[in-house]
């Protein structure tokens, strides 16, 4: 049975080299798509090249770098107002889903009305979950193919159901980027919605456009905010303790998988969390 169209929000900033392939990947899905590109204040020449690169996709310009979550909200609001689709896919400018990724996801979700959001398979063989004391972590998978319950949707490609968003609300814009999808999943769970990962619905995410310090800063600062508001201050203080212990240990022996390892970023994250400073990173965090 053919699937109804899926709306897609692609959040873009300064990646004219990637956005054309990403939009084409969503336009060429085996299910029909309606694509919205939200440009988060790209600089010249990226901003000038966009109309030619995205073809028939809708283009919404924010005028400044709002961050992934707030930029996503611009697209979500447009979807809710102008589209009548049940599902919205949200992805960054360099996400590359395989041709049948959305169809595989919809097939698994068709008989699961309680699932409010789901993510594609990034190919890491892990399941994203939320630990009350550590934040977002991953665990071993329990299935080789198809639907698997998860704690939150991976931001490389997530599907959100219209009814879920209407009941739960949009991304919390204090997060700017990182952890906004896990925080949204916690709010959805509190209202009875579940989340899953569709094993075998593949999406690739080739690169990272922010500095390691900036990513480390946002991940830890936002994790602390999420833990405090959803689990309690004790859990947030525990996570601060873990971070402070890890900093000197990691400086001597950096983690083997420490792609986002930055002692400076982590220290600044703890500082700003304690100050109550959220939203865009401050100027002393490397871009």
Given a cut of 70, whether residue 244 has pLDDT beyond it is: yes
CA distance 261 to 213: 7
Whole-number mean pLDDT of the chain?
Answer: 93
Contacts of 248 (CB under 8 A, 6+ apart): none
**Residue 251 scores a pLDDT above 60:** no
pTM score, whole prediction:
0.94
For the stretch 67-123, pLDDT in tens is 999 999 999 999 999 999 999 999 999 999 999 999 999 999 999 999 999 999 999
Domains and CATH numbers, the chain: 6-204 (3.90.550.10), 212-275 (no CATH)
What is the tally of helices (H) and strands (E) in the chain? 9, 11
Does residue 273 have a pLDDT over 50? yes
287 pLDDT above the threshold of 90: no
Q: Give the pLDDT confidence of 169-221 residue by residue, as tens digits.
A: 999 999 999 999 999 999 999 999 999 999 999 999 866 556 789 999 999 99
């Amino acid at each position: 049975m053919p699937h109804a169209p899926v709306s897609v929000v692609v959040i873009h900033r300064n990646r004219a080299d990637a956005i054309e392939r990403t939009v084409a990947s969503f336009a060429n899905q085996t299910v029909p798509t309606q694509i919205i590109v939200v440009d988060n204040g790209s600089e010249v020449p990226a901003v000038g090249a966009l109309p030619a690169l995205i073809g028939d996709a809708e283009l919404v310009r924010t005028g400044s770098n709002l961050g992934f979550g707030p930029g996503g909200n611009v697209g979500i609001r447009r979807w809710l107002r102008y589209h009548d689709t049940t599902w919205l896919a949200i992805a960054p400018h360099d996400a590359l889903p395989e041709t049948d990724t959305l169809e595989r996801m919809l097939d698994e979700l068709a008989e699961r009305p309680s699932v409010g959001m789901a993510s594609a398979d990034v190919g890491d063989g892990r399941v994203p979950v939320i630990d009350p004391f550590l934040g977002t972590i991953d665990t071993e998978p329990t299935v080789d193919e198809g639907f698997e319950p998860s704690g939150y949707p991976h931001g490389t490609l997530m599907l959100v159901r219209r009814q879920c968003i209407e009941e739960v609300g949009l991304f919390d814009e204090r997060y700017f980027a990182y952890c906004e999808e896990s925080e949204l999943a916690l709010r959805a769970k509190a209202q009875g919605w579940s989340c899953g990962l569709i094993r075998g619905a593949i999406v690739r995410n080739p690169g990272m456009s922010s500095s390691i310090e900036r990513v480390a800063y946002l991940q830890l600062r936002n994790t602390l905010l999420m833990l405090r508001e959803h689990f309690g201050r004790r859990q947030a203080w525990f996570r601060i303790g873990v971070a402070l212990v890890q900093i000197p240990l990691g400086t001597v022996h950096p983690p083997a998988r420490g792609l986002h390892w930055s002692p400076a970023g982590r220290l600044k994250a703890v500082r700003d969390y304690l100050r109550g400073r959220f939203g865009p990173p401050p100027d002393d965090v490397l871009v």
